[in-house]
Each structure stands twice: as structure tokens, then as C-alpha cells.
Copies of this chain bind each other. A is one copy, B any other.
Amino acid sequence: MSYWLYYWPSIPGRGEFVRLALEDAGAPYVDVGRDQGATAVAQIMRNGEHFAPPILADESESVSHVAHILAWVSRPLELAPVDARDFRRMHQMQLTVTDFVAEIHDTHHPLGPSLYYDEQKEVAARRSAVFISDRLPLFLDYFERVLTDNPDSGGWAIGHRCTTLDLSLFHVMRGLRYAFPNALAELETPALDDLTRRIARRRRIADYLDSERCIDFNEDGVFRRYPELDRPDR
């Protein structure tokens, strides 16, 4: 079974949540945007089935929305809990990740995705301040609790093995440390930090992060380092 990932070639973006799952599982996949360019991604959008990338396809089906893609592939990739109820809880928490990522994106795009950052810089500074003081601690505390409430699991968010949810939390934490290093330095997230370290050491993830397949964070994706949006350095 091979997969085709359709996502913009120049950013980690939302596609990265899918890449990490495929990479950790060692699943064969074609990163179509990086292989054939952005026009190949625009092409699949033209049939009108999907509202936005990322889209993941196999020989018979194509699926969009990160949380939905991960629910679809996590069992074949052996990155899902075995229990059906745990599986539903995993998807539920992945949808909270979706909401968190949308709020992180909106720190630099508070007037919406159709304007450039430069057209909304002042509003972005206001939204970011509110995000850092009110929303960031709320989401991080929630996921800290998810990890510490699953104490005999080996440190995973759900069940007893690594799932696509853990890989997504890893990516969010890396992205937040890239985008908001000062804000993160003032928050205590020991369980999430431990999870991040353990996932970074997984063999296939470590290989991927070192490879040219992995796109560095940059100022076109979800996680952007605009120092003016972070807390001031102390």
C-alpha cells in the first residue's frame, strides 16, 4: 500500500502532522507537492471534492482534514490504540489539536487567511498577546493533564503505545518553541517536554528530521517566528 500526500511544497504547515505519521510508520508515500510542484496540489483541488489541503490518497480513496486523515491511516500505520473507545478519544483530542493549531495560525492572521501578515501586523500583535496570556496556557495545561492522567502508559497520551496524537503533540511543541520561545520558557510543561524528547529519539523520526524530506519551520507556515508577536525576552 502506497500513499500520496498532496500539500504545499515549501512549508511544514498542516501537512506535517500527516508526514510525521507516515515517516514514523515507515510507510511508502509520495510527497506530491515536493515531487511535482504546487500545481499538482492545485490540480487535485479542482475536482471540488476537498475544501483545502492536506489531502492523503491511497489507490482507492482520498481524504482531507488532518484529524480525519489521521483517524483514517492510524490503524493501518499501527499508530492507533487497539480499544475502540480509546480510538474515539484519540480522534476527539486530535480535534482539540486542530482547534489549537487554528488559534496558533490566527496569531499572525487575525483578519483571516486571505490577507498577508504585513497587512495585519498590528492586529496580530494584539491577538498574540491575548493568545499568550489566555489561550496558550489553557491548551497546554489540558494536554499536560491528558499525559499525566494516563500514568501507566509509558508516557503516551492514550492507551499504551505511541499514536498519531502523540506525534501531533510533538509537532505542536516543536512549532511553539520555534514561534514563541519566550512565552514557552515561562510555562511549565514537563510531560509534554518529555514526550517531545522521546519522540525526537524514535529512529525513523530522528532520520526524518535529519533528512532533506523535512522542511524547516519558516515564515510561511502555521508556526512563524515573528519576535514582535512573542513575549519580550527577559
Binding site for B on A (CB under 8 A): 48, 50-51, 61, 63-65, 67-68, 72, 85, 88, 91-92, 95-96, 99, 102-103, 106, 110-115, 123, 126-127, 130-131, 134-135, 139, 142, 145, 149
Contact = CB atoms under 8 A, between A and B. Distances in A.
Give the dominant DSSP class at A's interface: helix
A113 B103 CA distance: 10
B63 A92 contact: yes
Contact of A114 (B50, B68, B102, B135): B135
Contacts of A114: 130, 134-135
B123 A51 contact: no
Contact of A111 (B67, B96, B123, B145): B123
Contacts of A96: 51, 65
A88 B110 contact: no
A48 B145 contact: yes
A81 to B, nearest CB: 15
B111 A126 contact: yes
Contacts of A63: 88, 92
